[in-house]
Chain A
Amino acid sequence: MLYREAGQFKTSYAADQQLFPIRQDRIGVLLLLAAAFLAVPGMASEYWFSAILIPFLIFALAALGLNILTGYAGQLSLGSAAFMAVGAYAAYNFQLRVEGIPILVSFALAGLTAAGVGVLFGLPSLRIKGFYLAVATLAAQFFIVWCLTKFPWLSNNSSSGVISAQKVEILGHIFESPREKYLLVLTVVVLMALAARNLVRTSTGRAWMAVRDMDVAASVIGIRLMPTKLLAFAVSSFYCGVAGALYAFCYLGSVEPDGFSLEMSFKILFMIIIGGVGSILGSFLGAAFILLLPIFLDVGLPWLAELFHLPFSTATVSHIQTLVFGALIMFFLIVEPHGLARLWQIAKEKLRLWPFPH
């Protein structure tokens, strides 16, 4: 009833091919954007901006990047955090070494640098498949972090590779408060998410999906595997790189190579699995879930302990967190292997008839 596309006739190709072909989707997205741009900045507190909203958006962007590679092109990667590190350090170095370069340009260049590195580590994908490739991408993870730690030039000779991000200044305005940074990150993420949504329905996106479903068949129908796979690595790393730059400049302020650990790569992978492999929306849902879960556990566990008078030490609480995190991952995979995005799809189908199911 509320969500029914019946009666929405398309009379031109442009109308048929628009990004959100269903009117309710368009309205929904606009409402969501209005809320994110107008309502949230007025309501959220400083803590919400700097501890929840900004990291959520940044990790959603990184998850989006990984989703392009894994969900759309079918190449499993365990090195996304390393590409974020490349982005962060590249943006830092462009700011440091190029006189007067605008920050957004250096973000874009950071993304391109990450894309270049991504292509380099994507080369093996032409020969290797599946888990062999996944393990091979671990080479990127360990090698890149090691390089950032050991080559002092990359971190301007700071000890153990820690860098402090420069000020974020656009057109003479300095983005300092969490609210301003949130708006900047939000703008970048929204634009890139729309671009991604557009990208996956072009011939490139369809070629990726064909390669994902079966690469031999894809090559038989005339898709050139090498450029297609490498482009997927490049675009994915670009997204991760920009996310990394935002991570350093708008979230933490100072980062070290070891922060971009394997654990972070796994986290991003969890986000797309929980959210939904091969879904733009899923990247956001997954990022929200994975980021909020530890916060809930942080708050909820001591409260439960007090409620039942259980003597939990801090060590026990952190063990329980790990345990619950692992258990929830397994639970989700068993209950809904296609992720939260699939739940939303089911909900949409129900909404089509609701509230009059017959």
Chain B
Amino acid sequence: MQFFFEVLIGGLLSGIMYSLVALGFVLIYKASGVFNFAQGAMVYLAALSVVGCMEKGAPLWLALILAFAVMTLFGIATEKFVLRKLVNQPPIALFMATIGLAFFVEGLAPMVFGSDPRALDLGIVDEPIESILESAGMVISKFDLVAAGVAAVLVTSLALFFQYTRIGRALRAVADDHQAALSIGIPLQHIWAIVWGVAGFVALVAGMLWGARNGVQFALTFTALKALPVLILGGFTSVPGAIVGGLIIGASEKLAEIYIPPVMQSLFGGNFGGIEGWFPYVLALLFLLVRPEGLFGERHIDRV
């Protein structure tokens, strides 16, 4: 039972890491209806630019600021040179454009900052917390707890930003209805630039935590694939959905990895590891059969 809880908590905490990436998707989808496949590449770009700046001798805080500047510039450029030209195109064209964007970034970032895997030290150690290990015998990493804390702060501040600031209100208006927002004088293109900037910031945070955990390398782009089931489970348009979805996916995927392969092995023989790769997708798929718009997504009403 104790082992079960250990796996469960480990899964929940790693789920938070998925949520961080999923958040970036949600922000952009909410405000512009673009399914931004380049979010994983943005995580990679953010982490690389921090490491790159630090290699040039900048201290961590400066590197973070510089990376944030890079991400903001990237967001504005994307809006200006890609999305603005694709206004009124079908969503699939925009989706394809972001896949192209992902390729572009995956080529550009390592060219500028170097492609060899590097470690990123944030000053947080990835080791079990001793007091919990002694009292309950469970291994819970300090790093995971910090990540969870960061995610909580990020989500709270995003929620406050959306709810109470002028820009946040404008963002919600744009998300509700582009035309209506335009007609009351909200500058759509500024708003999109801001959203991409915010998504860049979220990618920076995700890049920091993932980079510190697994090293800054090309595999960071695959975090997007981890975030997709989270996204459809929680709903494309919901910030809390991304968090809850992340928790569910993280926990169930770790539990499945532990408990399903032995069963399969006793049935068929052979080695059935690596369930993590597809289990979240199948879980999300089955879930969608019951609720097609995800947990917190907006119900889609068709009008003829």
- Taking CB as reference atom, which chain A residue is nearest B268? A151
Q: Is the CB of A139 within 8 A of B304?
A: no
Judged by a CB distance under 8 angstroms, whether B136 is at the interface is: no
Which of chain A's residues have a CB closer than 8 A to the CB of B85? 334
Q: Is the CB of A315 within 8 A of B115?
A: yes
A-contacting residues, B272-287, CB 8 Å: 272, 274-275, 277-278, 281-282, 284-285
Q: A127-B288, A127-B289, A142-B277 are in contact. Are A325 and B103 (CB under 8 A)?
A: yes
Q: In angstroms, how far is the closest chain B Cβ from the Cβ of A187? A: 32
Within the assembled complex, what's the spacing in Å between the Cα atoms of A135 and B35? 11
Q: Is the CB of B111 within 8 A of A323?
A: yes
Within the assembled complex, what's the spacing in Å between the Cα atoms of A315 and B115? 8
Q: Is the CB of B96 within 8 A of A329?
A: yes
| Candidates B91, B100, B285; contact of A329 at CB < 8 Å | B100
Which of chain B's residues have a CB closer than 8 A to the CB of A129? 292, 300
| Candidates A136, A150, A215, A321; contact of B107 at CB < 8 Å | A321
Q: Is the CB of A319 within 8 A of B111?
A: yes
Q: Is the CB of A143 within 8 A of B278?
A: yes
Within the assembled complex, what's the spacing in Å between the Cα atoms of A139 and B303? 29
Q: In angstroms, how far is the closest chain B Cβ from the Cβ of A122? A: 12
Q: A326-B102, A329-B96 are in contact. Are A146 and B107 (CB under 8 A)?
A: no
| Candidates A136, A146, A277, A327; contact of B288 at CB < 8 Å | A136
Q: Is the CB of A319 within 8 A of B115?
A: yes
Within the assembled complex, what's the spacing in Å between the Cα atoms of A142 and B134? 40
Majority SS of interface residues in chain A? helix
Which of chain A's residues have a CB closer than 8 A to the CB of B82? 330, 334
Chain A 310-327 per-residue mask, 1 if CB under 8 angstroms from chain B, else 0: 000001100111111111
How many residues of chain A have a CB within 8 Å of chain B? 49
Judged by a CB distance under 8 angstroms, whether B92 is at the interface is: yes
Chain A 99-120 per-residue mask, 1 if CB under 8 angstroms from chain B, else 0: 0000000000000000000000
Which of chain A's residues have a CB closer than 8 A to the CB of B293? 132
Q: Is the CB of B304 within 8 A of A146?
A: no
Judged by a CB distance under 8 angstroms, whether A347 is at the interface is: no
| Candidates B108, B225, B277, B303; contact of A323 at CB < 8 Å | B108
Which of chain A's residues have a CB closer than 8 A to the CB of B106? 322-323, 326
Q: In angstroms, how far is the closest chain B Cβ from the Cβ of A73? A: 13
Which of chain A's residues have a CB closer than 8 A to the CB of B284? 135-136, 139
Q: Is the CB of B111 within 8 A of A333?
A: no
- Most A CB contacts (10 A, CB to CB) among B101, B228, B275 go to B228
Q: In angstroms, how far is the closest chain A Cβ from the Cβ of B257? A: 12
Which of chain B's residues have a CB closer than 8 A to the CB of A152? 270
Q: In angstroms, how far is the closest chain A Cβ from the Cβ of B71? A: 18
Which of chain A's residues have a CB closer than 8 A to the CB of B75? none
Judged by a CB distance under 8 angstroms, whether A220 is at the interface is: yes
**Nearest 9 Cβ contacts at the A-B interface:** A323-B107, A326-B103, A329-B100, A326-B104, A322-B107, A139-B281, A142-B278, A330-B100, A143-B278
Tell me the A residues contacting B by CB distance below 8 Å.
Answer: 70, 76, 124, 127-132, 134-136, 138-139, 142-143, 146, 149-152, 214-217, 220, 262, 266, 269-270, 273, 277, 315-316, 319-330, 333-334, 337
